[in-house]
Amino acid sequence: MAASPLAANIAHEITQLVVSGELLKGDHLRTQGLADKFGVSRSPVREALELLAERGIIVQQPNRGYFVAEVPEGNLDEPISDEARPVDSLNTYQLIAEDWLKDRIPSEVTEQLLRERYSLTKSQLNDILLRAGREGWVERKQGYGWRFLPVAKTAEAFEQIYRFRMLIEPAAMLEPTFALDRTVISEQRRIQSRMLDTDIKRLPAERLLHNGSLFHEEVIKLSGNPFFHQSLVRVNRMRRLLEYRSNVNRERLVEQCKDHLAILDLLERGEVVEASYAMRRHLGGALSRKSPISWSAATSEPA
Helix H or strand E encompassing 60:
strand 58-61
Domain with CATH 1.20.120.530 in the chain: 155-288
Choose between 255 and 23: higher pLDDT.
Answer: 255
pLDDT of residue 246: 62
Asked which of 80-84, 160-164, 233-237, 239-243 is least confident by mean pLDDT, the reply is 80-84
- Tell me the CATH architecture of domain 155-288: Up-down Bundle (1.20)
Choose between 59 and 131: higher pLDDT.
Answer: 59
Residue 276 has pLDDT above 60, yes or no: yes
The 3-class SS string of 242-287 reads HHHCCCECHHHHHHHHHHHHHHHHHHHCCCHHHHHHHHHHHHHHHH
The SS3 call for residue 142 is: coil
**Any idea what DSSP says for residue 234?**
H
Fold of 87-148: Arc Repressor Mutant, subunit A (1.10.10)
pLDDT of residue 72: 52
* HSE of 23, CA atoms in CB hemisphere, 13 A: 21
Q: Which of 13-27, 80-94, 151-165, 212-226 has the highest mean pLDDT?
A: 212-226
Choose between 270 and 11: higher pLDDT.
Answer: 270
Question: Is residue 14 a contact partner of residue 23, using CB atoms and an 8 Å limit?
Answer: yes
Question: Is residue 34 a contact partner of residue 76, using CB atoms and an 8 Å limit?
Answer: no
pLDDT of residue 62: 87
Task: Classify the C-alpha dihedral 19-69-130-33 as positive or negative.
Answer: negative
Residue 52 has pLDDT above 80, yes or no: yes
- Averaged confidence pLDDT in the chain: 82
* HSE of 295, CA atoms in CB hemisphere, 13 A: 15
Residue 293 has pLDDT above 50, yes or no: no
For helices 226-238 and 155-172, angle between their N-to-C axes, nearest 10 degrees: 160
* CATH 1.10.10.10 matches 5-77: yes
Helix H or strand E encompassing 61:
strand 58-61
Alpha-carbon distance 2 to 47, whole Å? 10
Name the residue type at position 203.
L
Task: Classify the C-alpha dihedral 217-241-191-48 as positive or negative.
Answer: positive
The SS3 call for residue 53 is: helix
Domain with CATH 1.10.10.10 in the chain: 5-77
Query: Could you give phi then psi for residue 142, rounded to 5 degrees?
Result: -70, 125
Bridge partners of residue 59, in order along the sequence = 67
Asked which of 41-45, 133-137, 169-173, 234-238 is least confident by mean pLDDT, the reply is 133-137
Query: Could you give phi then psi for residue 155, rounded to 5 degrees?
Result: -60, -35
**Any idea what DSSP says for residue 222?**
T
Question: Is residue 50 a contact partner of residue 1, using CB atoms and an 8 Å limit?
Answer: yes
